[in-house]
């Protein structure tokens, strides 16, 4: 499999990690769209939300637990932050491995 996030998970590609446990890894985005822009990536390969099911949905719940923890640790919990995922080409999903963007540190607009 030629998945950049799987390669980051395995350590084959380096990243600037902010968090890691048995289920997820979180690291700074290479092209940040906000002062705080972290990607939270399940270690198990799931292509998108369309691949979430009863056997792997617990890891997605864990992603949101990690997002809340990181928002506090990175100082964006008080003023607000966004957690977003893109599904498919038209939505801007460039890596076909489910991941969540944690964005904060400034007022975020209402982009479509």
Active-site amino acid positions: 99
Q: Of 38, 37, 54, which is closest to residue 46 (Cα–Cα)? A: 54
- CA 29 from centroid of its chain's CA atoms: 9
DSSP assignment string, 59-77: HHHHHHHHHHHHHHHTT-T
């Amino acid at each position: 499999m030629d998945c950049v996030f799987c390669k980051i998970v395995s350590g084959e590609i380096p990243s600037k990690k902010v968090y890691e446990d048995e289920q997820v890894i979180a690291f700074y985005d290479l092209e940040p769209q906000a002062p705080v822009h972290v990607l939270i990536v399940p270690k198990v390969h799931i292509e998108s939300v369309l691949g979430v099911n009863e056997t792997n949905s617990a890891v997605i719940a864990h992603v949101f637990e990690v997002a809340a923890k990181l928002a506090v640790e990175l100082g964006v919990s008080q003023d607000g932050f966004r957690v977003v995922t893109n599904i498919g080409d038209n939505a801007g999903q460039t890596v076909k491995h489910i991941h969540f963007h944690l964005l904060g540190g400034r007022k975020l607009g209402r982009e479509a």
